[in-house]
A and B are shown apart, each in its own frame.
Chain A
Amino acid sequence: MRIVILGAGGFLGGTVCEEIYQRNDIQQLACIRKWASAVRLARRGIEIRRVDLEDMDSLSPLLAGVDAVVNTSMPPPSREPELVTNIYHACNQAGVRRFIQLSSAAVYGNRTGEVSESMSPAPLDDYGRGKVEMERRLLEAANRSTTQLCILRPSIIYGPFSSAWTVRYVERIVRGRWRTLGRIGEGTCNLVHARDVARLVIAAATADTVPGPHVLNVNGPDVVSWNEYIECLGDALGVPDRVTPNAALFCGTAIVAEILRSGSTSKWVRALYRRSNGKAKSVMTGAQDVTLLYPPRGELDLLARKVHYSTERATQVLGLSPSISFAEGVRQSVKWCRIHGIV
């Protein structure tokens, strides 16, 4: 069997490639946008190709004789629906049997309680709206095509190489000495280990499934709160003297961080940072610390949201469930952070 992975230079794409690399029954071609993102794949000797996904002429020749294409690329939300649909059409023309597209649980927006795939999307931001529109266009195209479509909606993907949900939280816990976030972090964390997602991606590409398109949630086996995640990470890291921050003060500083974050994107602030020395630089570095430590508005909502994404359908369709426990995932993450010099 031959699988092409698009977006292989990213966190999830890299994990999928490393998981396939362990298997003898799958040949893979890892496609990346720029060579700088080849570091993780190259260490395993994985076959890599640089491909511009905006240029179908460069992609199409790679699809001949391919059984499945996995798309983990992350184009800008405004571009994603059209680009991904074009890729899907190219796969269909090339006779690719299956197309696996990574979407996100962000399509559900601020829904709470038990959430299954039968619930209609309610995205909150551009990211979620881009995913919903991409899914809509793909499903429409799949009704007129022979390439079977499988859309996966993972929740919070953590584990080695996860910048957003592992590295950033480890840095926050170490620098902010967080024990928990108190009432701010009482929401459900919906952690799923990257290797579990990768296994489900491979199952989606290889398993015998009922015909027709599938849309599947992907979530981890354990239900934990954000506070439990933060506390377990902190314990595993051995960070001493941790405290739960005052909620009002924390939310107030988060607003300041939001202002600093939007200011940091302006050209003159960047220019000032580059040129500044001494005190000005230490002020800017302090501002960076604040923006790291205090989450943006959308993330604060996420931390408080009590929602669980059901993976029953994925288990039924693919015959596989995520299996890496929360405790094991945290243990792996911390060991990996130490090896990589993050802590």
Chain B
Amino acid sequence: MPGNVALIGCGAIARAFYLPAMAKHRALFGNIWLVDPADRARSTAASILPGHTARHLKEVLDDIDLAIIATPNASHFPLASEALSRGADVLIEKPFVIYPSEGRRLAETAAANSRVIAINQTRRLSPIARALHQRIEAGEFGCLTSIVHREGAKQTWPFESGAGFAPSARRTGVIMDIGVHVIDFYHCLLQPSWTFVSAVHDGFEGPEGLAEIEIRANGSPVSIRLSRYFKQENVARMTFEHAEVSFNVYDAKTYSVKSASSRTISVPVKPVGANNETPAEQLLLNFLAASERREPAFCDPASSMPVIDILDEIYRSARRYPATLGYV
């Protein structure tokens, strides 16, 4: 019998990602609860996917089997804890927590209650991640020697809530927003041990919009620049012993492999997912399968914790740019 589901948070990510996929696979769910404190967000969500509505999770009257948490970062931990304690399996938007201690506690709670936690790290689902993972794992390129990643554009995401921009907001800037995708992507590809080298950002008294990060993956240097202000080079460049692999981070339909002989080959990547499923559908179907113990979640706390750990170290150790006006 299909389980009841609560979509907690009906803002921009819910509208763009979860709701269309849930609507398409409506038959896989029992009662649907749309949970958000904002009236407008709830009514917009209900226009895409009719369901019961509630302002808060505690107002959801049914037993819930599945909870999808698509709220501002800081609320992931308390809401996931609440949903797990109500016996639900939980799918959490990235970053699944903002502090490592929260992640470990969630994992313990899930294990104690025999519940599943899945995490939406979308880039793991990308065709390029799968294509490169296979070739790297097969040792085609040799060992990693360095990574350069430049990513950014003017922020245009249609945030419903300003929670991430409030003076009290913690870890809602570009490092937690985009950086978590970037580091998770390389983590998924390489499974390295991460070490912190240095970082600098412009979060003087609030969330940062610009960051430069130097870390190491199994000892190899990784240089990351992230911006929410201006278009960057938007390139991912991984140098291995025998080849340099690069691709455009916003248009990853192909990647280039430059061999030691300086010959460059452009390799198209094939879409993944049966029946042309969107990433949201793939994620949702995987979450349902994980909930029914038919397959493991694409991303779970165990595979995400090393990323949360290095992000935590980046935030704790990062310098700020000099705050001089006119320069930053």
Q: Please list the residues of chain A having a beta carbon within 8 angstroms of any beta carbon in chain B.
A: 18-19, 22, 34-48, 50, 159-161, 167, 193, 195, 277, 324, 332, 335-336, 339-342
Q: Are B209 and A35 within 8 A (Cβ)?
A: no
| Given A341-B225, A341-B232: A39 and B209 interface contact (C-beta under 8 Å) | yes
B277 → chain A, closest Cβ, in Å?
A: 20
Q: Count how many pairs of residues, one from A and one from B, have CB atoms less than 8 Å apart in the complex.
A: 93
Query: Given the complex, which residues of B lie within 8 Å of A45, measured CB to CB?
Result: 167, 204-206
Most B CB contacts (10 A, CB to CB) among A44, A160, A195 go to A44
Which 5 residue pairs are nearest across A and B when measured between Cβ atoms?
A45-B205, A35-B159, A42-B165, A39-B209, A38-B165
Select which of B166, B228, B253 is within 8 A of A39 by beta carbon: B228
Q: Are A341 and B173 within 8 A (Cβ)?
A: no
| Given A19-B325, A277-B253, A341-B150: A43 and B155 interface contact (C-beta under 8 Å) | no
* Alpha-carbon distance between A97 and B173 when the two chains are bound, in angstroms: 36
Give chain B interface residues in 129-185, CB to chain A under 8 Å. 150, 152, 155-162, 164-167, 169, 173
Residue in chain A with minimal CB distance to B322: A339
| Given A43-B173, A43-B202, A44-B204: A341 and B227 interface contact (C-beta under 8 Å) | yes
Select which of B159, B166, B227, B230 is within 8 A of A167 by beta carbon: B230
Q: Please list the residues of chain B having a beta carbon within 8 angstroms of any beta carbon in chain A.
A: 150, 152, 155-162, 164-167, 169, 173, 202-210, 225, 227-230, 232-233, 253, 321, 325-328
Query: Given the complex, which residues of A lie within 8 Å of B169, measured CB to CB?
Result: 42
B103 → chain A, closest Cβ, in Å?
A: 25
Q: Are B157 and A50 within 8 A (Cβ)?
A: no
A164 → chain B, closest Cβ, in Å?
A: 13
Residue in chain B with minimal CB distance to A50: B162
Q: Are A40 and B162 within 8 A (Cβ)?
A: no
Select which of B150, B206, B225 is within 8 A of A44 by beta carbon: B206
Residue in chain A with minimal CB distance to B154: A36
Q: Are B229 and A195 within 8 A (Cβ)?
A: no
| Given A36-B155, A341-B150: A336 and B328 interface contact (C-beta under 8 Å) | yes
Query: Given the complex, which residues of A lie within 8 Å of B167, measured CB to CB?
Result: 42, 45-47
Q: Are A40 and B209 within 8 A (Cβ)?
A: yes
| Given A36-B159, A160-B326, A332-B326: A339 and B230 interface contact (C-beta under 8 Å) | no
Residue in chain A with minimal CB distance to B200: A339
Q: Are A43 and B327 within 8 A (Cβ)?
A: no
Residue in chain B with minimal CB distance to A37: B155
**12 contacting pairs across A/B (C-beta < 8 A):** A35-B164, A35-B165, A36-B155, A38-B165, A43-B208, A43-B209, A44-B206, A46-B167, A48-B166, A160-B328, A161-B229, A341-B233
| Given A42-B165, A42-B207, A45-B205: A341 and B152 interface contact (C-beta under 8 Å) | yes
Most A CB contacts (10 A, CB to CB) among B155, B169, B325 go to B325
